[in-house]
Structure 1
């Protein structure tokens, strides 16, 4: 979960929501108290005060800075759901989540119907069927199913019913590859959890040649003694990598009048450390069978670690960047992290930062991961206020969203109300039966 700060020390947590192909289609946004570092996002779901703070922060920061061009899933409190308070964001990018804590009365049912008619997507959060949900089922576009609260048989029955009724099943708390594979096999359209950041290690798995070459290039590029000639030699051994680097440096972002036509020239123009960072990123993105969210998460970690290093006045900020970037290399290569790190000729401090989160680099990485998982920060872990750490994260996320944007949208809400109502009564009975099954 990425944590973003607003100027009044309130931070927003975001957790990616992926489709079946592991492409990010949106983020669930949650509220966190940056002043006291209370990881209370789950407790505050649907709380009126938390919703007000969250909506105000989104207006202040800007929705595009938080989610880019993807969807924002937000748990709203009763005043927003029953129409007492207007939602200050357009329908094309917002998913209105109804938390289980909200009392569903006639006013809420009427408000949800109007929001659906206005084009807002409606999601029922932490859903376990009971008759209280019946008034909202006709307008639901997405239903969130907690894999820890339903048996596989119940989950299968729910997903089949949802798919048959043109409602997207969103499996939440998907934390392992086994759970991901089960949900995919059952036909869940969307998934939420941190399974994508875990290595899928299989006993006896053969490492592909391309991965071995990748590790060798990583080792050569990240050797502390490596100079421009050594980096050029390592990059030039991989024509595809060299091509990507040249294309990157000649992009419009650098505004050069004359093109850079060699790796050596790119190193001279950009500097050794900038090229090192680019090569690390390009190498990671060359793992084609991994979700883009994994690379994006690694890049956010890297940028945030460097931002934290800058805030602390650390001299070797590029090392902090590389630690953050390589912190997910185990999930990229589906190999244990300690084995990969031992193959890299880096300092003991670098290894300890990656493997044990020790030292200044390790402390920054530890803070970054704590924000991702919405966990409390270790006391006195960094000589920075929590709000300053949140700002470092906001700057990192904004930078990544501006440079790594991906348009991906769900089908818009447009079903006719009479058709939905016709479906609703029979569907409620089917859901009740599915929930009752052991």
Structure 2
């Protein structure tokens, strides 16, 4: 895996509360941009933010300001970002020609907030000001009289004003007196470099598949289409459903029939298991370990008469994802739309799901003195483990081989 980096600098409101963060290209942990290709830098920031590290991990619930180059504004097919989470910055070196103005107008009408970066007033920029939500004024490029004149001219438009490159307390007080809405600069905080790990392509694709499979809103048709995209998945699932394990009276010939006969949740579980088994450069025994954990957690939940025991299978199965993906569980869960109680069980062993998972893991490690028994006798827990071993062995022969 390779390391990835994002620069993040806070933007404050008039009460010095963090309003947003500007995301900045960084190619290394050194706090400097080193940009040689603006389009590449923009793409890198977007990919690392949304597909690798995760937006919430970088900005929490705050808006993210993202610098975009000309192609991202004029090409109708390049922007697909959450409108309520981002502010699109038009860089100061982009010429305000008709194509750019039309692109900004289109994005504004789609619901995106637009910011004009390092703004210096010129008559040709009036159409952009009319479309903008925020105008950023660089204090290093203008003297104080020029800053005041800019504020007076821009107050004719319903835009918010952001003072950037605020270097001193005096700068802040001056801009606040002029009526600026937001403030950014070294006086408050230097950019912080956020580090992450880029998953290998095979593992990233599988994580995206797992994410779709775990979406609680997925329909049976969507699930069927998802499985149908992989012939090997379809073949293995049909082979397993038609095995003696289900003792069906008729042969199942399609994924649609399989969903009808054994249910969407079961099909989703098997497809999830298959996806995990496809991770490259990982021993098959690791997937077997995940299977045993999942089944043991489910059987324990059934013995304890807990509702929805299938969800315990998911917790046990996913407890091995960090080892499979060579990444931290925290990073992985940013890519998976799991319910809070499942995420909390995986991360913090919280709730009944976390308690059951802790029982499974301590039994697996032979840490008998630490094992929570949850009012079960130790021989009952052993029976659950042995049942899970038997099940995992049977499934491996029919589903994964």
**TM-score, normalising length: structure 2:** 0.47
1 or 2 for the larger relative contact order (CA 8 Å, sep ≥6)? 1
Structure number, greater radius of gyration: 2
